[in-house]
Amino acid sequence: MSRTFLKMNGLGNDFVVIETQTQSFDPTPEEIRAIAKRGDGGVGCDQVIAIDPPKAEGASAYVRFWNSDGEETGACGNGTRCVAWLLMQSSGKDAVAFDTVAGRLSGVAAGEKLVTVDMGVPGLDWTQIPLSEAMNTERVELQVGPIDAPLVYTPVCVSMGNPHVVFFVDAPVSDAFATGTGSLVEHHPLFPEGVNVGFAHIAARDHIQLKVWERGAGLTAACGTGACAAQVAAVRRGLTDRKARVQFETGSLVIEWRESDGHVIMTGPVSMDFAGKLPERVAA
């Protein structure tokens, strides 16, 4: 039986979303890779998302995320907005909560196809990222390039339900730089579970320009948890105010690291691309 799906995106970060209320979906890593592959029979996406029936009181759903390499991941910021929008559309409500392996997330309508989601409290301890050794995550002992002239150095580490390392750069970096450097750092021994790699340029105290090499997906148009991690990292370093616009080439997200409760709040757009059926050979 073919599984139906929705193709959605947030700032060009695209997803195949599968609702499991009426169809089962328990894919192998190979099946996820086949779905995510662009061309050659795949649908093509950065992440695959399953919306399952809720497991706990107060939740509208239980949501699973996979990166395009087939590995299940804890969180996806742009995907979270898409899920929240779908759940609000189906329920007729303007606020929803749902559970993930990384904890409970919630979303509220913020305008026409605009959603605000509460991404929870960031993990700042080295064990939460996780790192392979004890280290101050505000100034991590890591550099890329020659010892006397490193390309990037002394980043900040943040967990947003998935691991992030954020390097601050003097100017926005190219795709080639982000790919070359990000691919090196993603599997560095300091990060036993791999890491998402952000390159953040502080344009103003309320404006960050960001490019992200995403763990298991590569260079992506936008990364919601990466935007959250960059803003948290910048606030920790005293580089931005609590609320800032995080800009990708495809558009911007507004991120606030709330002082009152420590939660990270993200507002941004969602887009519905099309609906379809998975090819039989990749339908789990």
Q: Which residues are tagged catalytic?
A: 76, 223
Please say whether the beta carbons of 196 and 228 come within 8 A: no
Cis before 269? omega within 30: no
For residue 120, the surrounding DSSP H or E stretch is none
CA distance 93 to 28: 34
CA distance 66 to 76: 9
For residue 127, the surrounding DSSP H or E stretch is none
Per-residue CA distances from 122 to 12, 151, 172 (Å): 24, 27, 25
> Using the 8-state DSSP alphabet, how is residue 194 labeled?
-
Question: Which residue bears the tokens 């579970």?
Answer: 193
Please say whether the beta carbons of 6 and 82 come within 8 A: no
User: Where do the DSSP E strands lie in the chain?
Assistant: 4-10, 13-19, 47-52, 62-67, 72-73, 95-100, 103-111, 114-118, 143-144, 152-153, 156-159, 163-168, 196-204, 207-214, 218-219, 243-248, 251-257, 264-269, 271-277
Which residues pair with residue 254 across a beta bridge?
245, 267
